[in-house]
Structure 1
Amino acid sequence: MANAIQPQKLFVASCMALLVTSLSFGIRAGILSRLGVEFHLDTKQLSIIAGTAFWGFPLAVVIGGFIVDAIGMKRLLLAAFILHLVGIVLTVFANGFWSLFISTLFIGMANGTVEAACNPLVATIFPDNKTTKLNHFHLWFPGGIVVGTLLVFLLTKMGLSWQLQVATMVIPTLIYGYLFLKLDFPVTERVAAGVSSAQMYKSILSPLFIVMFILMFGTAITELFTGQWIEVLLKNVTENSILILALTAGVQVLGRGIAGPVVHKISPTGVLLISAILSALGLYLLSHVSGNMVFVAAFIFGMGVTYFWPTMLGFISENIPESGALGMNLMGGAGMFAVSVYMYFMGGFYDSIIVKNLPAGASLDAYRSAAPGSAEATAFSQATAVAGPEIINATLVIPVVLIVAFTGLFFYMRSRKKVVKAQVQIV
């Protein structure tokens, strides 16, 4: 069976599955405001719908982390294929809040199942180059966002419906389902190495793992909350707000494509520290500039969040390998769960800022749905132009905290390596 394993084909199929995950992210970000207008949903309701994908993800990724060693990665990925198809179809035929909620939950669970299987799969088939290959794999997340946002932009300009835009995800879904069905899979790295379940559970209770687990909250919120809400937050700051998401995602694609020399030259902890600094600078600029300078800010922010997610997973896989698939999936689940909670609270906060900037007693839905050019529409536009940057400015606190945390981690890991090196020399 081992001779039948084809690492490169498995990697290509994994990238295709992640592409569907990211397309759902990019397309949802692009159509979010249109859903609010069509179904008369306020920002808090939209945040609940969008947030459903982010808590559906950890639900699936954590369950997958516990069972992947037992049932195998292939079965998990076939389950992801079915969940994706069902979620896409239900979204296309959605007619209001609850149907959008349920369909987004299915897609979120599909996305989490893809990560639950593909992260340990990539680590297993490339055991000597984990962080670099995880970065190469995860470049397909921003890659799909670029494709998804540009697709929304072009199809919207052509006057085509959001339902058709969502339906385009069916094609790559069918492709990755077919590829995985035909391929043989290895066992996970932990199973192959003979690491016991007791060792695995002990490793995820280690202080280093717990610290990284908590820091994953901040890295995920910084990257994914801002990306998912960029079109809503900046639509009245710049005329082409959805293109900002495409720009930041494009920067991530290029950055993850050259991850090998970057990670090896700087070290994973150094990369995380620089990422936090650039993310903070990018968010600060996004909340304080306007016009074409917004694109400069987006470029800096894109450089900042490029290496967060895959480097956090690679750090765990390389420094706490006994945690296996469960460790990587708990990290991913922690990140997405944090985003879902943060998104819920920020949706309500965003609405409260808008209401505060509208005339006393104004109906938020009436102003949001007002005819273009009317006094109400103008007042709503002015209110949202204030609310978006204020939300981004509030989020800026998170990467600032990460700068402090990753500075400490950088020096801790450097001192630990010196101790290990000294022990080796003594032996």
Structure 2
Amino acid sequence: MEHINKNRLFLASCLALITTAMTFAIRARLETVFGPEGVGLTLEQIGYAFTPAFFGFTLAMLFGGPLVDFLGIKKITWMAFVTHAIGIIWTIMADSMTSLFLATLFVGIGNGMVEAALNPMIASMYTNEKTKMLNRFHVWFPGGIVIGSLVGWLVMDVLGLSWQIMVATLFIPAIIYGVLFYGQKFPVTERVQMGISNSKMFSSIGKPLFLFMVFCMFLTAASELGTTQRIESLLKQSVEVPLLVLAFINGIMALGRMFAGQVVHKLKPAGMLLYSAIFTFIGLWLLTVTSGGMVFLAAAVFAIGVTFFWPTMLGFVAEYLPETGALGLSIMGGAGMFSVSLVLPIMGNLMDNASPGEALRTMSILPAILIIAFLGLNVYMKRSKTLKA
């Protein structure tokens, strides 16, 4: 890693992830701007308008993942910056479902390129601490959502300024990460370092363990992001300022990921995932039966559950299936975001025709399935360790 400034690259990566995360919080606040009481879209229509944030992310990761090895991390990072800028500008000018859809698509592609380039970069820079450093990097997803939630609340609810000004604040972290990346030497991906061939990489993504993790990623991501992305509508009957609940959830997540190293050491990735599924299930169930101040207690349990989901899923693949390379990490991230693009309109339909509580009850089925799946994963990992011993 000579001539590579790891600290500067890691800092720039964190700011790129802050930009990504702030888009999630600010988009959650835009739900009321474009909803029935604002522009006049139904909650189901908003669900469709927001889906490109997730399938755009998926497309960027699935195409960007293999391209990271061929074009290099640097080029994919700059693609992220350009598409972020286009998406932010277009969002500011959005005035209909179509324009919001297209703006969200570019933001989603930018977010996907960030993950496609920077997850493998961090895995290649910190080969002996992958799960720990990926968790530390992903501190800034919930951290950025806290920042975005507080910015949205401050700009619109406290200062009474326009939603366009709220969206424009995204330029602050975006410009900073662009400046920090400018002129830097980037590492090659770990797969390239290890000399693993393309054919071995492509065959590795067909392994049963990898396919199992992709299936689980569908459920972990939908449990976390499906819930937090629609927090305004889900909790508007239970609490006065749902965006502050979102900030609270993500504050807990940021703290948890900061200290992930000790948890990884004690539980190992498979154990972390099982405990995460249990707490997520309990948290979602509690959110269906609480209101007022008790919502924050339910939200805390839910937050403890989802804290380690995303980075530990990636860390597990990077640690136990390194031959899948940047493509494997991108497929994981892409699967997670694609699942959210499917679940958002379903949740919108449930809230339009039933109730927010009904939508949360339906969502709690996902971590219930994960509890069984991760129990099986723990048994499998212990058995394979015994066989190798």
TM-score with structure 2 length normalisation? Answer: 0.98
Q: Deviations over 1:128-156 (max 9, x none)?
A: 00000000000100000001111111112
Match of 2:370 among 356, 381, 402: 402
Match of 1:356 in 2: none
RMSD: 0.8
Whole-Å Cα distance in 2 between the matches of residues 59 and 13 of structure 1? 23
Matches within 5 A, 1:302-313: 302-313=303-314
Task: State the alpha-carbon separation in 1 of the partners of residues 39 and 99 from structure 2.
Answer: 11
The Cα of 1:66 is off from its aligned counterpart by 1.6
Q: d(CA) in 1 for partners of 2:348 and 2:20?
A: 23
Residue of structure 2 in register with 1:137 after alignment:
137
Aligned partner of 2:20 in structure 1 is 21
Stretches of 4+ moved more than 4 A in 1?
A: none
| 1:342 alignment partner AA | V
Q: For 1:134 and 1:282, locate their aligned partners in 2 and report how far apart those are by CA, in whole Å.
A: 25
The Cα of 1:77 is off from its aligned counterpart by 0.6
How far 1:14 moved relative to its partner? 0.5
Q: CA deviation at 1:182?
A: 1.8
Counterpart residue type for residue 380 of structure 2: Y
Matches within 5 A, 1:19-168: 19-36=18-35, 37-156=37-156, 157-168=158-169
Q: Following the alignment from structure 2 to structure 1, what is the Cα–Cα distance between the partners of residues 76 and 178? A: 11
Matches within 5 A, 1:145-294: 145-156=145-156, 157-294=158-295
Task: Render the CA deviation track for 1:261-283: whole Å, top value 9, x for unaligned.
Answer: 10111111110000000000000
Residue 340 of structure 1 corresponds to: 341
Partner of 2:384: 416
Aligned mates of 2:329, 2:351 — CA distance in 1:
33
Partners in 2 of 1:284 and 1:346 — Cα distance?
16
CA distance in 1, matches of 2:133, 2:225: 21
Q: In structure 2, give the amino acid aligned to 1:140.
A: W
User: Would you say 1:317 and 2:285 are equivalent positions?
Assistant: no
TM-score between the two structures when normalised by the length of structure 1 = 0.90
Shift of 1:219: 0.2
Render the CA deviation track for 1:376-412: whole Å, top value 9, x for unaligned. Answer: xxxxxxxxxxx11110011000000100100010111
| Aligned residues between the structures | 387
Cα distance in 2 for partners of 1:212, 1:268 equals 12
Larger radius of gyration: 1
* Unpaired segments ≥5 residues, structure 2: none
Contact 2:350 2:356 (8 Å CA) reproduced: no
Q: Which stretch of structure 1 is more off in the superposition, 41-50 or 270-279?
A: 41-50
Q: What secondary structure sits across from 2:239 in the alignment? A: coil
For the residue of structure 2 that corresponds to 1:4, the secondary structure is coil
Give, in angstroms, the shift of residue 349 of structure 1.
2.5
Question: Structure 1 stretch 218-227 or stretch 231-240: which is displaced more?
Answer: 231-240
Q: Distance in 1 between matches of 2:230 and 2:305?
A: 17
3-state secondary structure, aligned to 1:192: helix
Rounded Cα–Cα distance in structure 1 between residues aligned with 2:347 and 2:234: 11
Contact 2:220 2:336 in 1 (8 A): yes
Question: Paired residue for 1:382?
Answer: none
Distance 1:79 1:38 in 2: 33
Question: How does 1:353-392 map onto structure 2 within 5 Å?
Answer: 353=354, 387-392=355-360
The worse-fitting range, judged by mean Cα deviation, of 249-258 and 169-178 is 169-178
Q: Distance in 2 between matches of 1:313 and 1:148?
A: 24
- String of CA shifts for 1:70-122, please: whole Å, max 9, x gaps: 00010001011010111001111111111111000000000000000000000
Q: Deviations over 1:187-231 (max 9, x none)?
A: 111011100011101110000000001010000000000010111
Residues 66 and 326, structure 1, Cα contact 8 Å, conserved in 2 = yes
* CA contact 1:39–1:97 (8 Å) conserved in 2: no
User: 1:415 deviation in Å?
Assistant: 1.0
Per the alignment, residue 9 of structure 1 pairs with: 8
Contact (CA 8 Å) 1:78, 1:181: kept in 2 or not? no
C-alpha distance in structure 2 between counterparts of 1:397 and 1:38, whole Å? 32
How far residue 52 of structure 1 moved from its aligned partner, in angstroms, is 1.4
The Cα of 1:241 is off from its aligned counterpart by 1.3
Is the CA contact 2:252–2:303 (under 8 Å) kept in the aligned structure 1? yes
In the aligned structure 2, how far is the partner of 1:308 from the partner of 1:30? 24
Listed one character per residue, the Cα deviations across residues 324-366 of structure 1 (whole Å, up to 9, x for unaligned) are: 000000000000001101112222222122xxxxxxxxxxxxx
Letter in 2 for 1:12: L
Gaps (5+ residues) in structure 1? 354-386, 422-427
Distance in 1, Cα, partners of 2:238 & 2:271: 34
- Cα distance in structure 2, aligned partners of 1:344 and 1:11: 35
Q: Displacement of 1:31 after TM fit? A: 2.3
Are the counterparts in 2 of residues 57 and 333 from structure 1 also a CA contact under 8 Å?
Answer: yes
Contact 2:350 2:358 in 1 (8 A): no
- The answer on whether the counterparts of 1:263 and 1:271 sit within 8 Å (CA) in structure 2 is yes
8 Å contact kept, 2:25–2:229: yes
Find the aligned partners of 1:155 and 1:7 in 2 and give their Cα distance: 35
